[in-house]
Each structure stands twice: as C-alpha cells, then as structure tokens.
C-alpha cells in the first residue's frame, strides 16, 4: 500500500513545530534576562544578576557606613540586587585578594582608600595593585581629626596647644590608637604632631606612643574609657560621641575648619602641613568590561546626586571637601598620593 500524503497535514505539522520553537526561544530569553534587569549606562550594558561591593573593613565603620546608604539607591538604578560583602583583615589586603579572585565580569567591585596605596608601596598586597585594579569613581573625601576624651585629658591638657606642651614635658606618657601602624591615620597623626612639636616625623614616637587596634569601635571605646590619650578619626565616624561630649576634637587636619566642629582649629591656620583625609573610591579589576565600568560609574553619579545620599553626606560632614570624582580624577589623586606616601615611608625608614 502506498503511504497517504496530505499537503495540508504537512503544513499543520510544520506550523506546530515552528510555534513550539518560538515558545522555547521565548523561555530561553526570559531565563537569560531576569525581571528587573535593564540598561543603566553607556554602551547598553545590561545588568543581569547581583552586583557585589566588597568592603575591606567591618560593619559599622566609616568605610562600611559610606556604602550602606548607597546600596538601595544603586539597586533601583541598576535593577538588580546589590550586595555588600565585608572582608576584614590585614589592613585591607584580604579584601583585595578576595576581589582579585572573583571573575572580572563586571559584577564585583571593591571599596578602596589610601590604605591600599600604602600596602602596595610596602609590597604587602598579594597582587600588583596598580596593574590589576582601576578606579570607577571616588565617593567621599573626609577630614581627619586628632581627638581625645574628657577622661584622657583630665589634669593633663585642655586643647591642642596644651597637648603639645604636655607631650614635651612628659615624653612617652601619652598613647595614640592606630588602626594600621603605617596607614593613612598614622601618616596624618605623625605629620600633625611633627609640625606641632617642631620635630621630624621619625622623632614623634619619642613623645607619643602608638598602639594598634583592630577597629574604630575599639579605639573609641579605649579613648572614652581613658585607656588612650589620642586617636585619629574622620569627623563622620565620631559625630555622636562628640555631640555627647565623650570625645573631644583637638585639631582638624585640613586646609579649612570642619563644619561639624567649627570651633576646632585646623592645621593650615596653625602653620602645620598636614591635610590628609581618608577618601573612599570604588575600584574594579582592570580586566572588567569597559561598558560595565561606565554603566556603574553613571549609576554611582546618579545615586550620589540623589537627595537621600546628599542628606547622608551633609549629616556626616562629607561635603566639606569635594567628594565625587570621575575615574580619571581619582586616578590622578591616587598618583599624587603615591608620591606623598613614598616620601613618608622613606622618612620613617621603611622605604629607601
């Protein structure tokens, strides 16, 4: 018997196959593009999954506090979840190693400060920082304060001038808490006291001892308790303790006075060359796709300009200095501070 051939049946079968193929293709496209993913910047980069921001310090510190109010704003702009991962330890080196081990696919970034420059200069970082990482945007640039507490000052000194006199007459009696022995807080402290005491940077520790601590909260607790005489902190980190009277700012390490504590003198007016403040920037692996970097940079600028983030910046004292900066501007700032910190490390004998 010959097979029965039906042209109309063949057409119906072909249509069914094509329809099924279309359905499968549509399902595949939906799987690849989750709800909420959208373009968020130049060159049409499409955000398709969670973005991770690595913070090299613990929850509650100044670095972490810079990212937390930014997180929900970025999520809305990018259309995907944004996660903050705190990777503590080794003065920031652990976080850099963690970030370097992640794929350079546009979904992992790290918050950096001058600490990474200092670690790089001392060959402490596990990667070649300048080769393997590049800036996306700078977010903030805080002003450092040399601080004490009522309990620590009692019967010893009342202000910065009194501190200098006491240190001269009681060498090694006062201790200053540090997060990193050769971090930017140490640089700021030694520059300020060297200028005030009219001694070299190497000689500062003849007058003031330094004690290392694991985190800013530990330093503040020791200071308030009278176990430390001095510490260095950003104005934004200690606002509550200053308002309560537990912490007493002695001098602002800046060109101008700080709006949060306008009665406190600044180093510039005292003729002291010390104005290093902690800046925080978002960096990416160098191999990260440029479209992803451009898209995130655009979103960061949008978020930075939003009223909610501007309110946070104002309340935290971050608007005393220019905060946001482009990738090129941040790179230029980092290059200039490589020179500053090279001179410092040479002055204290760590570099030749």
The CA distance from 199 to 40, in Å, is 53
pLDDT value for 131: 97
User: Angle CA(61)–CA(212)–CA(215) in degrees, nearest 5?
Assistant: 15
Q: Which strands, in side-by-side order, build the sheet including 208-212?
A: 208-212, 174-178, 230-234, 144-149, 247-253
257-290 per-position pLDDT tens digit: 998 899 999 999 999 998 888 899 999 999 999 9
Average pLDDT, the chain: 86
Token duo for residue 14: 């072909």
Check if 42-142+278-347 and 144-253 are the same fold.
Answer: yes
Distance CA 92, CA 61 (A): 13
pLDDT above 80 for 12:
no
pLDDT digits (tens, 9 = 90+) for 164-217: 999 999 999 999 998 776 778 888 999 999 999 999 998 999 999 998 886 777
Q: Where are the domains positioned within the chain?
A: 42-142+278-347, 144-253
SS3 313: helix
Binned at pLDDT 50, 70 and 90, residue 66 comes out as very high
CATH number for the region 42-142+278-347 comes to 3.40.190.150
In this predicted model, what pLDDT tens digit does every residue of 140-150 receive, in sequence order? 998 999 999 99
Phi and psi, residue 144, nearest 5°:
-80, 145
The pTM of this model reads 0.80
Token pair listed for 37: 């993913």
Give the relative orientation of helices 93-100 and 114-121 as an angle to the nearest 10 degrees. Answer: 90
Average pLDDT over residues 300-318: 94
H/E stretch holding 290 reads helix 290-305
SS3 339: helix
Strand 230-234 to 279-285 pairing = unpaired
d(CA 77, CA 306): 11
Percent of the chain past pLDDT 90, that is, above it, reads: 64
Q: Which two tokens stand for residue 352?
A: 């030749």
Superfamily of domain 144-253: Periplasmic binding protein-like II (3.40.190.10)
C-alpha to C-alpha distance for 188 and 175, rounded to whole angstroms:
15
DSSP string of 20-76? HHHHHHHHHHHHHS-TT--B-SGGG-B--S-EEEEESS-TTSHHHHHHTTTHHHHHH
- Indicate the pairing of strand 144-149 with strand 279-285: unpaired
Residue 103: pLDDT over 90:
yes
Beta strands in the chain (DSSP E): 51-55, 82-86, 108-112, 133-141, 144-149, 174-178, 208-212, 230-234, 247-253, 279-285
At residue 134 the predicted structure's pLDDT band, cuts being 50, 70 and 90, is very high
């Amino acid at each position: 018997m010959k097979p029965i051939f039906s042209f109309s049946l063949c057409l119906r079968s072909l249509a069914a196959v094509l329809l099924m193929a279309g359905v499968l293709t549509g399902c595949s496209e939906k799987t690849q593009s989750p709800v909420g993913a959208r373009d968020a910047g130049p060159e049409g980069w499409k955000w398709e999954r969670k973005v991770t921001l690595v913070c090299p310090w613990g929850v509650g510190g100044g670095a972490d506090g810079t990212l937390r109010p930014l997180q929900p704003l970025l999520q809305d702009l990018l259309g995907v979840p944004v996660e903050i991962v705190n990777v503590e330890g080794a003065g920031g080196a652990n976080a850099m190693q963690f970030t370097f081990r992640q794929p350079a696919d546009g979904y992992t970034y790290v918050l950096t400060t001058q600490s990474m420059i200092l670690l790089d200069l001392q060959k402490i970082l596990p990667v070649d920082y300048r080769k393997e990482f590049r800036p996306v945007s700078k977010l903030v640039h805080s002003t450092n304060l040399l601080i004490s507490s009522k309990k620590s000052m009692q019967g010893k000194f009342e202000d910065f001038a009194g501190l200098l006199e006491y240190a001269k007459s009681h060498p090694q009696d006062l201790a200053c808490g540090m997060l990193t022995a050769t971090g930017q807080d140490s640089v700021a402290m030694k520059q300020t006291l060297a200028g005030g005491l009219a001694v070299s940077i190497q000689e500062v520790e003849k007058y003031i001892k330094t004690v290392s601590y694991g985190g800013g909260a530990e330093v503040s607790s020791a200071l308030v308790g009278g176990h430390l005489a001095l510490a260095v902190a950003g104005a934004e980190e200690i606002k509550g303790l200053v308002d309560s009277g537990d912490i007493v700012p002695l001098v602002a390490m800046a060109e101008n006075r700080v709006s949060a504590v306008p009665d406190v003198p600044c180093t510039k007016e005292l003729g002291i060359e010390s104005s290093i403040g902690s800046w925080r920037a978002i960096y990416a692996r160098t191999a990260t796709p440029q479209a992803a970097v451009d898209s995130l940079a655009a979103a960061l600028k949008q978020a930075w300009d939003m009223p909610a983030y501007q309110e946070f910046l104002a309340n935290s004292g971050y608007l005393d200095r220019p905060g946001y900066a482009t990738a090129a501007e941040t790179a230029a700032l980092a290059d200039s501070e490589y020179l500053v910190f090279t001179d410092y490390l040479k002055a204290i004998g760590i570099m030749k």
